Amino acid sequence: MSAPTTEEFRVRLDPKLLRETKRVAEEIGTTPGDLVRMLFAQVVKLRALPFRPSSFPALDEYGVTLAQAEAALVSATNELEAEFASGKMTEFKGKLR
């Protein structure tokens, strides 16, 4: 008898995470199983994770802290409110898509 060409791997996941992963995988044209296979292949190839774990990856991408991002949001909001109050900016009534 020959050895199997694949081996089953089971893991417990939060049901919500699994549902969301299935939805995203379908959107990008793949499956959760393929995502796991790609992750494992990259871990073996790189001998490390192919990404830096983060609770807020967008902050890592731009190299800022949460406090800096929040300060930028407050600043931008204040600037927009001032522009609107001065009449330099009017309400947008168009479509974004």
5 belongs to a structural domain:
no
Do 42 and 81 fall into the same domain?
A: no
35 belongs to a structural domain:
yes
Do 60 and 70 fall into the same domain?
A: yes
Do 65 and 94 fall into the same domain?
A: yes
CA-based nearest residue to 35, from 57, 62, 9, 61: 9
CA-based nearest residue to 33, from 50, 18, 52, 16: 18
Question: What are 66-89's pLDDT values in tens digits?
Answer: 888 889 989 999 998 898 889 887
Cα-flanking dihedrals φ and ψ of residue 95, to 5°? Answer: -110, 140
78 belongs to a structural domain:
yes
How far apart are alpha carbons 58 and 52 in whole angstroms? Answer: 11
Q: Which residues touch 43 (CB under 8 Å, ≥6 apart)?
A: 49, 50
Domain of 92, in residue numbers: 52-97
pTM (predicted TM-score): 0.54
- With a cut of 70, say whether residue 16 has pLDDT above it: yes
How many domains is the chain built from? 2
